[in-house]
């Protein structure tokens, strides 16, 4: 249906790119803002050749679960998410290298936990494929038990990972020059080079990295990403319900039966 069809109305949120004056100050908002819109269809004409399902609730539901579409759609979302996690942990590690804290045992403990969580998501991604099955038409159905378990924990673990990066960063993401223009004046540029450097990074290099970190974590763009990872696939309890329905309860309870059958009141 064309977006200008009578009755179609789009309500986009405010674009973040409008405030993002240049790529140095807002490297992500200025280039990668993905508009979200609320769409109203008010008595819109939809030609029959564009209608796939009509008043058939069962087919509407089964298109997602009797085909691999729900699993494949969410699997690609995990491919995206794992790439983003690698980028985020890379940013944190680069900061530690620049500050010189990379060898600090306390920092290594936090980064070790972060690396463990990122590795869990990387290996879960492999598990969706290796535990999945190929049907008689040669189509891969990712394993939904492993897929939904990664998704079910995402809203909690994503926030925890970002919290760790914020803890490592401290106030440094805030105490920054307001814009690229501060590098144009020799006086302010001199201050930045002299006072805003890190042991292993000059002022401009440090400011550049911290502005990228802020845009990834703290700006409107970064904050929208946090909300996105919590809710893009629907509310977390709905995903936990999917995991509940796909988990192999029989295998777990078979172990309990085996144990229960191994003793009784007369057992020594």
Can you give the binding site for ligand FAD, defined by CB under 6 A? 36, 224, 227-228, 231-232, 234
Nearer to ligand FAD, 100 or 234 (CB): 234
Q: What's the chain look like in SS3?
A: CCCCCCCEEEEECCCHHHCCCCCCCCCCHHHHCCCCEEEEECCCCCCHHHCCCCCCHHHHHHHHHCCCHHHHHHHHHHHHHHHHHHHHHHHHHHHHHHHCHHHCHHHHHHHHHHHHHHHHHHHHHHHHHHCCEECCCCCEECCHHHHHHHHHHHHHHHHHHHHHHHHHHHHHHCCCCCCHHHHCCHHHHHHHHHHCCECCECHHHHHHHHHHHHHHHCCHHHHHHHHHHHHCCCCHHHHHHHHHHHCCHHHHHHHHHHHHHCCCCCCC
In the complex, minimum distance from the CB of residue 191 to ligand FAD, in angstroms, rounded to a whole number: 38
Residue 50's contacts (CB-CB under 8 Å, 6 or more residues apart) are 1
Nearer to ligand FAD, 200 or 224 (CB): 224
Is the Cβ–Cβ distance between 10 and 38 less than 8 Å? yes
Is the Cβ–Cβ distance between 158 and 118 less than 8 Å? no
In the complex, minimum distance from the CB of residue 3 to ligand FAD, in angstroms, rounded to a whole number: 15
In the complex, minimum distance from the CB of residue 182 to ligand FAD, in angstroms, rounded to a whole number: 32
Nearer to ligand FAD, 7 or 234 (CB): 234
In the complex, minimum distance from the CB of residue 231 to ligand FAD, in angstroms, rounded to a whole number: 4
Nearer to ligand FAD, 34 or 264 (CB): 34
In the complex, minimum distance from the CB of residue 227 to ligand FAD, in angstroms, rounded to a whole number: 4
Nearer to ligand FAD, 128 or 225 (CB): 225
In the complex, minimum distance from the CB of residue 11 to ligand FAD, in angstroms, rounded to a whole number: 13
In the complex, minimum distance from the CB of residue 9 to ligand FAD, in angstroms, rounded to a whole number: 17
Nearer to ligand FAD, 16 or 214 (CB): 16
Nearer to ligand FAD, 25 or 229 (CB): 229
CB-CB neighbours of 188 under 10 Å? 13
Q: What angle do CA 86, 92, 93 make, to 5 degrees?
A: 85
Nearer to ligand FAD, 34 or 42 (CB): 34
């Amino acid at each position: 249906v064309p977006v200008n069809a009578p009755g179609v109305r789009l309500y986009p949120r405010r674009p973040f790119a409008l405030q993002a004056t240049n790529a140095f100050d807002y490297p992500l908002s200025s280039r990668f803002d993905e508009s979200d819109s609320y769409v109203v269809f008010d008595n819109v004409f939809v030609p029959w050749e564009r209608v796939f399902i009509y008043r058939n609730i069962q087919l509407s539901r089964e298109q997602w679960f009797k085909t691999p579409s729900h699993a494949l759609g969410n699997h690609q979302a995990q491919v995206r998410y794992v790439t983003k996690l690698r980028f985020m942990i890379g940013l944190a590690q680069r900061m530690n290298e620049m500050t010189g804290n990379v060898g600090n045992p306390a920092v290594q403990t936090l980064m070790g936990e972060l690396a463990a969580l990122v590795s869990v998501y990387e290996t879960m991604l492999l598990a969706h494929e290796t535990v999945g099955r190929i049907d008689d038409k040669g189509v891969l159905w990712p394993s939904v038990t492993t897929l939904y378990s990664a998704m079910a924990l995402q809203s909690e673990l994503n926030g925890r990972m970002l919290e760790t990066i914020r803890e490592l960063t401290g106030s440094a993401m805030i105490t920054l020059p307001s814009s690229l223009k501060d590098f144009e004046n020799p006086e302010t540029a001199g201050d930045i080079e002299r006072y805003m450097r890190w042991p292993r990074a000059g002022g401009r290099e440090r400011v550049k990295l911290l502005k990228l970190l802020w845009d990834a974590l703290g700006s409107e763009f970064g904050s929208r990403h946090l909300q996105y990872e919590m809710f893009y696939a629907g509310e977390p309890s709905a995903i936990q319900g999917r995991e509940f329905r796909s988990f192999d309860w029989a295998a777990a309870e078979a172990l309990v039966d085996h144990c229960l059958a191994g003793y009784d009141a007369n057992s020594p």
